Structure formats: C-alpha cells, structure tokens
C-alpha cells in the first residue's frame, strides 16, 4: 500500500470514528505524570526512571507532578478529575489502587472503573528497616524490642493506605502489636528521619531502602519475600529470620483517566513497554532491587484483572487489621 493509500485509509478510519483524530497525532505536547507522594520516595524514584525513557519513545516530555496526601489517594483522585486525553497519567500502587478500598470508606474513586489501565510498571519487595541506634541486631531482637516498647515505638509511613503503612499493618497484626504511627507525605521524607534517628522503624520498598542499607545509614532486618533480594543479598528473608508468615509483594501501575481513547492507551502502553525493555532502565531498576512485570501484567487487560485480584486479596487483610483511615 503506498503513502497515498495509507493517508486515505487513515482518513477513512478517522472519519469512521474508529480512531479519534487526536489519537492519530498523539502526543503533540508534554504529558503530566502524577506521583501521589512527595519527591524522593520509591514511587517517585521509579516513576522518574520510567518517565525519562518514555519521553524518548513518545517524543514529548513526561513531566512529574507530585501530588501527596491521604496515603496517595489525593493524587489518584486528582487524576480522575483530569481530561481523558492522554496528557494526564499517574503511577498508582498497592496502596492507592488496592488497599485503599477497605481503608477509605469514602474513597472518591473506584480503583478499576475510574481509570484506564496502561500497564504494571514493576513489583517490589518490602523490607523491615530501623534506625541505626535501635537496640536490635536481627529480626527476633527487633520483634522482642517492639513488643516491649509498643507504646513508645514510632513507626514511620507515607500516610494511611500507603504501602509503607499497610505492609507494617500486616507485620503488626502478625506480631500482635499496635505501636504509634508517624505519617509523612512520602517515604522519601520518612527515610530522612529514619537516617537521622528521629523515628524508629519503617516497612518500605527495596527501591527506597537499598541505597541506605548499602551506605550503612539504616538497618534492615529482613526482606518479606521467599527469596533474598539481589540488590541486598546479605539481608535474610523473613523465613530465614524466623517470621515466615510475613511475606508481601507490592507494585506500581501506570494509569490514565477512564475514557482515555484506546488508541492513546495503546500508544502509552507501547512507550511503557519500550521503557521497561530499555537496557538503562532495566539496569537502574535492578540496582534498586525492583522486578519487572511478568506475563501479561504490562498490558492494559492484564493490569485490570490484576487490580481486581489485588483488591480482593487486600480487603480482608485490612478488615482483619481493624483499621480504616478514619481511626
């Protein structure tokens, strides 16, 4: 088919409303990527790595906008209020798009139907970390310390419903404690205070803790996965450290507002997949201990089914912990 025929076919498709005209030339201007936490945390770090590579593929800047608050649900709500034109996307995660359903009785969005799913970005291990001065040198000593200091221990997290909140909630339920919690606008700022010894411990994603553990500025007692994390090979698994019940995997997902044209979702998915296949991106995410999506999770349909399964998984866990954002 020669160029003239291609133009004619494209025009016919547009005229038939099969592909919106805007989708034909998309993107023609910068794209905003909402990150629902403060700069410097795991969501922000992964987003900036992926956004940079997507910009190259799309030929337009992907500009990060940090919209923090309410465990990430403020940023997710903000995205649902944007035009579904492909120029507003976000990175959500286990907290904003799964645990939030049970934690926020008045959640202002449906994590599945109020979004167009673009694809899973990465999965992440969770580590139990503590300030250097905390008087425990392994997980068993940490658990004993936490039980003995339950009323005064300060657990940092990124707000009710955040990953750092919900994964420590899971740990507390297994240990049987209800310590103080100190919310931050992201675990970037929380990590600063952990390094400074201003808070006692943090359940956080490997991409945020790996650099600090390697630098020796914080302690990591265990990684809550079946296998050790390649980025921190000396940190034992929770099973090796005597707490096999505590295993949890969290994830980041790329989303657009519902109603974003399929052709634009497809184009964004192509840019995401190209970014995740970029050698530089793979190397940077591997160094931080992040894992790339497997199977069909990096596809819109695969992500939608995954979100539905994750909501079904996390809802009873949160309800059993007896916590909602209002208490």
Applying CB under 6 A, the residues found at the interface with ligand MLT are 37-38, 41-44, 72, 95, 158, 162-164, 186-188
Give the nearer residue to ligand MLT in terms of CB position, either 163 or 256: 163
Give the nearer residue to ligand MLT in terms of CB position, either 26 or 37: 37
Q: How far is the CB of 19 from ligand MLT (least distance, A)?
A: 35
Q: How far is the CB of 229 from ligand MLT (least distance, A)?
A: 16
Give the nearer residue to ligand MLT in terms of CB position, either 38 or 256: 38
Q: Which residue's CB comes closest to ligand MLT? A: 41
Q: How far is the CB of 253 from ligand MLT (least distance, A)?
A: 12
Give the nearer residue to ligand MLT in terms of CB position, either 190 or 264: 190
Q: Would you mind telling me the total number of residues written for the chain in this entry? A: 327
The structure tokens 């003239």 sit at 4
Q: How far is the CB of 264 from ligand MLT (least distance, A)?
A: 26
Q: What are phi and psi of 3, to 5 degrees?
A: -55, -40
CB-based burial label for 99 (10 Å; 0-12, 13-18, 19+): buried
- B/e letters for 183-198, b = 16+ CB within 10 Å, e = fewer, are bbbbbbbbbebbeeee
The H or E element spanning position 129 is: strand 115-131
Give the nearer residue to ligand MLT in terms of CB position, either 41 or 86: 41
Q: How far is the CB of 183 from ligand MLT (least distance, A)?
A: 10
- Please name which of 92, 78, 33, 21 lies closest in space to residue 60, comparing C-alpha atoms: 33
Give the nearer residue to ligand MLT in terms of CB position, either 87 or 246: 246
DSSP 20-36: -HHHHH--SS-EEEEES
Residue 97 has a CB neighbour count (10 Å cut-off) of 29
DSSP 143-189: HHHHHHTTTT-EEEESSTTSHHHHHHHHHHHHHT---EEEE-SSHHH
CA distance 57 to 100: 32
Q: How far is the CB of 51 from ligand MLT (least distance, A)?
A: 14
Q: CA dist 274 to 211, 277, 279, Å?
A: 26, 5, 10
Give the nearer residue to ligand MLT in terms of CB position, either 93 or 131: 93
The structure tokens 């068993």 sit at 140
Q: How far is the CB of 164 from ligand MLT (least distance, A)?
A: 3
């Amino acid at each position: 088919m020669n160029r003239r025929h291609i133009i004619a076919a494209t025009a016919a498709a547009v005229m038939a409303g099969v592909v919106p005209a805007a989708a034909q030339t998309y993107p023609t201007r910068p794209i905003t990527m909402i990150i629902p936490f403060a700069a410097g945390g795991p969501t922000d770090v992964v987003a900036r790595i992926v956004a940079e590579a997507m910009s190259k593929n799309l030929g337009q800047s992907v500009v990060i906008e940090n919209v923090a608050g309410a465990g990430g649900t403020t940023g997710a709500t903000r995205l649902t209020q944007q035009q579904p034109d492909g120029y507003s996307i976000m990175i959500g995660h286990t907290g904003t798009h799964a645990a939030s359903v049970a934690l926020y009785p008045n959640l202002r969005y449906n994590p599945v139907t109020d979004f167009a799913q673009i694809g899973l970005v990465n999965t992440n291990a969770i580590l139990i970390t503590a300030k250097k001065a905390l008087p425990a040198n392994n997980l068993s000593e940490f658990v004993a310390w936490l039980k003995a200091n339950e009323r005064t221990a300060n657990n940092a997290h990124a707000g009710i419903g955040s990953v750092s909140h919900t994964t420590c909630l899971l740990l507390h339920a297994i240990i049987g404690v209800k310590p103080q919690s100190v919310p931050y606008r992201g675990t970037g700022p929380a990590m600063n205070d952990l390094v400074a010894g201003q808070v006692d411990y943090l359940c956080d994603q490997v991409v945020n803790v790996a650099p600090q553990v390697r630098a020796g500025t914080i302690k990591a007692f265990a990684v809550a996965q079946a296998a050790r994390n390649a980025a921190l090979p000396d940190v034992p698994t929770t099973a090796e450290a005597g707490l096999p019940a505590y295993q949890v995997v969290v994830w980041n997902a790329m989303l657009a507002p519902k109603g974003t044209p399929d052709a634009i979702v497809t184009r964004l998915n192509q840019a995401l997949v190209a970014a995740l296949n970029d050698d530089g991106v793979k190397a940077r995410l591997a160094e931080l201990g992040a894992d790339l999506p497997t199977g069909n999770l990096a596809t819109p349909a695969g992500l939608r089914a995954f979100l539905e399964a994750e909501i079904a998984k996390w809802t009873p866990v949160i309800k059993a912990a007896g916590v909602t954002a209002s208490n």
